[in-house]
Amino acid sequence: MRRTLIALLAVLSMASNAFARACIDADGNNIFDEPEVFQDLIRGQKTCTEAVELARACAWEDALDVETVSAAREVCLLDLLMYDKTDVDTTKLLEQMEKACDQKYKREKGPFYLSMNEFCRLSALEWIVKFATTEGYMD
């Protein structure tokens, strides 16, 4: 029962994001019909936050999200490389946080949980980027 409730809440939170932002590219095409266009659109975002917001807003909630998250990760990793001014080993911290995501979803099966795991890992990276690039660390 508890697992079902958690899954339902996750679906509702992702669905509400999708309806909050139109999933249409600059040419008016529905990006749900063209995953490659969507991934390129994510890669074109200026910041990690923008890339993550777009990836979340238009998530498929299935295995296609692996590529979507990968596109957002590229933007986030670039932000981290460019603006990380901390003395913290962000690579090691990211590995630890990603392992926690993997542990959380390791017993779950199916494309929905694959998507949830990928977004968990992306959230960890987004948090690290925000930590490393805010509070006076960013030029």
Please check whether residue 40 lies inside any domain of the structure: yes
Please check whether residue 138 lies inside any domain of the structure: no
Please check whether residue 77 lies inside any domain of the structure: yes
Please give the residue range of the domain that contains residue 87. Answer: 2-133
Higher pLDDT, 5 or 26: 26
CB 128 within 8 A of CB 116: no
DSSP code per residue over 65-76: HHHHHHHHHHHH
Please check whether residue 61 lies inside any domain of the structure: yes
pLDDT in tens, 103-135: 999 999 898 999 999 999 999 999 999 988 775
How many domains does the chain fold into?
1
Q: How many alpha carbons fall within 13 Å on the CB side of residue 67?
A: 11
Identify the pLDDT of residue 135.
53
Please check whether residue 139 lies inside any domain of the structure: no
What is the C-alpha separation between 95 and 62, in angstroms, rounded? 23
Degrees (nearest 5) of the Cα angle 98, 103, 106? 115
pTM of the model: 0.75
What is the C-alpha separation between 72 and 28, in angstroms, rounded? 21
Please check whether residue 26 lies inside any domain of the structure: yes
Closest residue by Cα to residue 56 from 78, 81, 38, 40: 38
Burial class (CB within 10 angstroms; exposed 0-12, middle 13-18, buried 19+) of 33: exposed
What is the C-alpha separation between 125 and 131, in angstroms, rounded? 10
Please check whether residue 84 lies inside any domain of the structure: yes
pLDDT in tens, 86-99: 777 888 999 999 99
Please check whether residue 16 lies inside any domain of the structure: yes
Identify the pLDDT of residue 17.
42
Residue 98's alpha-carbon distances to 24, 33, 104, in angstroms, are: 30, 30, 10
Identify the pLDDT of residue 137.
45
